[in-house]
Structure 1
Amino acid sequence: MALFNLNDLHLFVQAVDSGSFTAARHLGMPKSTVSKRVAELERRLGVRLIQRTSRSFALTDLGREFFQHAQASIIEAEMAEGIVRRHLAEPAGSVRLTASVPTAQFTLTEHLPALTARYPKLRLSVHVTDRFVDIVQEGFDIALRSHRATLPDSALVQRRLASHPFYILASPDYLSAHGQPRRPEELAEHATIMTSLTEDQWRLTSDGGDEALVTLQSVMAADEPYLLMEAAAAGLGITCLPTSVCRKALAEGQLVRVLPEWTAGSIETTILMPHRRGQLPAVRAVVDFLAERLTG
């Protein structure tokens, strides 16, 4: 008789990923059932995996090591099942993705309906947060990240999708009232909406490779792109935003480019995934779809 079955491991891993038996309710069973199954697993093993009280839920040292191997076993099982799915059916199952608020709002959201239509058997779980997420420890399949600096080397698989230049932007009403700057240094004479709470300069690069460092007169500063875009569209001043954020506002005429031959750096969009999870058919389907839609 086996010491435990794969369902026991699955329940244990899901409970740990969720942080409590209560949070594991997405499994479709009562908290008490999940708790009893994990307790039965501990009884069969003869060890305590989780220390729990009415107020706390934490892995023991042995439980932490067991969890890492149990999680790997579940992934291997999913991969084995995926081999069969590839031959019998379209990608199916759950895919957990995490992204920052701006990346989800401006890069991901508009493509989700098409993803669902293409793969109706997929269940995409999207965690949107601006905190740093350790996708391996927290059990995510994919992280979609936008970043200025180069990402550090790691054991994660990285797939670069796109580079988005920062355009200098203003509303037509603002430019009608205050005039159109013709050279970078003329920006110093205009009201500007800064993308940093601490800096008052923009470093600009022309299409021809020239550079200019301009000190600006800030009327507002914010570190959230939607707020910057709305403030500029309302005529508050000139700002700079990546094309991933301002594309729609430009197309609709809410914003227009200022000094169109100049940009203020760029931001990269990259997919990251743990090596094992990146081999799962459902994960590959989502990654390939995003690469198709976002690469540029």
Structure 2
Amino acid sequence: MKHNEQLDLNDYFYFFHVVEKRGFAPAGRALGIPKSRLSRHIEQLEARLDARLIQRTSRQFAITDVGKAFFRHAKAVVEEVRAAEAHVKQSKEALTGKIRLSCSVGVAQFALEGLIADFIKAHPNVEIGQFVTNDMVNLIEAGIDLAIRGHVDNLPDSTLIQKRVANVEWRLFASPRYLADFGHPASPDDLKDHKGLCLGWNSDIAQWNLRSDTGAESQIEFIPRLSSDDMVTLKSASASGLGIVSLPAYVCQSDVDAGRLEQILPGWSSGSATLSMVQPTRKGVLPAVSAFAEHISTELPKQVSIRPSSMP
């Protein structure tokens, strides 16, 4: 294409819809225009680019490799135009649109508790679809706008937009009933005489990796009375007096406040992790998504912090 040729964004728009709908006829029906008109626009686009984008016969519709690459750019152009229009409209109106959010079970049940409801109450024209799973979701394939992921090491996919939002401390907890029966551990070595619960459903031998506020370390192996990959199950079991459990401090916060659990060895951490916000792109993002991301960045650290009431 010559640099002085006029760019026709309609060609990008029509090509995007033809590929998205997998054919000229379905794209024409969706747009309400004849497929012959669509075909002419695609032919003009291919002639201007001097490249075949779509292989088409009476029985087959296939996108060439060049066409697939061009589609990614055409999609970005269409999304950017839509976002620009939405930004202008929504700058004069309340936030609107649907936000598709993905997070793990633990984050959904505890870290985001109240935060989603608060945002929707503040922006009643916004809808949020929450996909809760402990599996690593492909955000692009699943159409997710934003994900909250907990991790110890760096997240693997560097092509995504990643922002570290909060640090999470893990601590040891037990119920007052259990501590009355078996005593309060005064040091990590005392844990060898106690009963433990383990996160991970198939653990024959588990280990607490402890680190003190002064940097000392201690590893305590134990045979778990109960192992489960569900934090709620472990928290409830510990509150019932079954044993000591290592969990994120924010997960046990309400139980500590209510007196159902006590933190033990307060000078020792049983682990740490990071909560990061992940997005597939910053381009074409609706204002509602950006506002929700800012809300999470501000409020989530407060939600997962260790408050004074969690300390004995």
User: Residues of 1 paired with 2:9 and 2:279: CA distance?
Assistant: 33
- In the other structure, the counterpart of 2:135 is 131
User: Residues of 2 paired with 1:209 and 1:98: CA distance?
Assistant: 35
- In the other structure, the counterpart of 1:240 is 246
SS at match of 1:137: helix
User: Residues of 1 paired with 2:119 and 2:14: CA distance?
Assistant: 29
Q: Using a 3 Å threshold, how does the CA distance of structure 1 residues 282 and 207 change in structure 2: closer, same or farther?
A: same
Check conservation: 2:12, 2:74, Cα contact below 8 A.
Answer: no
1:226 aligns with 2:232: yes
**What does the per-residue CA deviation read over 1:173-222, in whole Å, with 9 as the maximum and x for residues that have no partner?**
11111111111011111110012333521110111211111122321111
User: Residues of 2 paired with 1:267 and 1:66: CA distance?
Assistant: 40
- The one-letter amino acid of 1:187's match is L
- Normalising by structure 2, report the TM-score: 0.75
- In the other structure, the counterpart of 1:54 is none
Check conservation: 2:101, 2:146, Cα contact below 8 A.
Answer: yes
- The one-letter amino acid of 1:161's match is V
User: Residues of 2 paired with 1:42 and 1:212: CA distance?
Assistant: 72
Shift in Å at residue 244 of structure 1?
Answer: 2.8
- In the other structure, the counterpart of 2:100 is 96
Q: Using a 3 Å threshold, how does the CA distance of structure 1 residues 271 and 11 change in structure 2: closer, same or farther?
A: farther
- The one-letter amino acid of 2:290's match is R
SS at match of 1:136: helix
User: Residues of 1 paired with 2:277 and 2:190: CA distance?
Assistant: 38
1:253 aligns with 2:259: yes
Q: Using a 3 Å threshold, how does the CA distance of structure 1 residues 168 and 66 change in structure 2: closer, same or farther?
A: same
Check conservation: 2:145, 2:289, Cα contact below 8 A.
Answer: yes
- In the other structure, the counterpart of 1:200 is 206
Q: Larger Cα Rg: Structure 1 or Structure 2?
A: 2
Identity within the alignment, %: 30
Q: Using a 3 Å threshold, how does the CA distance of structure 1 residues 140 and 73 change in structure 2: closer, same or farther?
A: farther
User: More deviation in 99-108 or 37-46?
Assistant: 37-46
User: Residues of 1 paired with 2:142 and 2:173: CA distance?
Assistant: 38
1:157-172 matched pairs, under 5 angstroms: 157-172=161-176
Shift in Å at residue 295 of structure 1?
Answer: 2.1
- The one-letter amino acid of 1:228's match is L
SS at match of 1:82: helix
1:186 aligns with 2:190: yes
Shift in Å at residue 163 of structure 1?
Answer: 1.0
Structure 2 unaligned blocks of 5 or more: 1-7, 44-53, 303-312
SS at match of 1:146: strand
- In the other structure, the counterpart of 1:30 is none
Structure 1 unaligned blocks of 5 or more: 17-32, 50-57
- In the other structure, the counterpart of 1:55 is none
User: Residues of 1 paired with 2:177 and 2:300: CA distance?
Assistant: 32
Shift in Å at residue 85 of structure 1?
Answer: 3.2
Shift in Å at residue 277 of structure 1?
Answer: 4.3
Q: Using a 3 Å threshold, how does the CA distance of structure 1 residues 114 and 42 change in structure 2: closer, same or farther?
A: farther
Q: Using a 3 Å threshold, how does the CA distance of structure 1 residues 10 and 98 change in structure 2: closer, same or farther?
A: farther
User: Residues of 2 paired with 1:5 and 1:278: CA distance?
Assistant: 16
Aligned length in residues: 274
**What does the per-residue CA deviation read over 1:89-120, in whole Å, with 9 as the maximum and x for residues that have no partner?**
23221221111222212212421210101111
- The one-letter amino acid of 2:269's match is T
1:83 aligns with 2:76: no
Check conservation: 1:144, 1:270, Cα contact below 8 A.
Answer: yes
- The one-letter amino acid of 1:288's match is E
**What does the per-residue CA deviation read over 1:274-296, in whole Å, with 9 as the maximum and x for residues that have no partner?**
23347531111000111121125
- In the other structure, the counterpart of 2:156 is 152
User: Residues of 2 paired with 1:154 and 1:226: CA distance?
Assistant: 32
**Aligned partner of 1:272 among 273, 278, 281:** 278
Shift in Å at residue 60 of structure 1?
Answer: 5.8
User: More deviation in 175-184 or 129-138?
Assistant: 129-138
Shift in Å at residue 12 of structure 1?
Answer: 6.9
- The one-letter amino acid of 2:165's match is L
Check conservation: 1:193, 1:239, Cα contact below 8 A.
Answer: yes
- In the other structure, the counterpart of 1:53 is none
Alignment RMSD (CA, Å): 3.4
User: Residues of 2 paired with 1:96 and 1:187: CA distance?
Assistant: 43
**What does the per-residue CA deviation read over 1:18-60, in whole Å, with 9 as the maximum and x for residues that have no partner?**
xxxxxxxxxxxxxxx88953895997358579xxxxxxxx986
1:120 aligns with 2:113: no
- The one-letter amino acid of 2:179's match is L
1:57-68 matched pairs, under 5 angstroms: 65=69, 68=72
- The one-letter amino acid of 1:118's match is A
- Normalising by structure 1, report the TM-score: 0.79
